[in-house]
Amino acid sequence: MKKIAKIVVERPLCIGAGTCVVVADKVFKMDEENIAVVIEGHSASDEDILAAAQSCPTAAILLYDEDGKLIYPPEKK
């Protein structure tokens, strides 16, 4: 897996399940609307970030590499 350079939470897809916070509380928190947001300046490992994205029941967390290519979730063919 390439290094994760960018994390995007698709707000319309987030249902506030909070699994990302449970898995990676140094990376994600819930905002006042109970939507996940990325904590600026986090220092979590790529493995923790990927695990959090994979835990999302609606695949609302998108991970990109330094070239801007989607790492997770895998593109549907």
- The CATH number given to whatever domain includes residue 24 is 3.30.70.20
**Quick one: pLDDT at residue 74?**
85
pLDDT tens-digit profile of 9-24?
999 999 999 999 999 9
pLDDT tens-digit profile of 20-48?
999 999 999 999 999 999 999 988 999 99
Global pTM value: 0.92
Range of the domain at 52: 4-72
Domain for residue 17, yes or no?
A: yes
CB-based contact 44:4 (threshold 8 Å): no
In the chain the first and final C-alpha atoms are separated, in Å, by: 19
**Quick one: pLDDT at residue 77?**
66
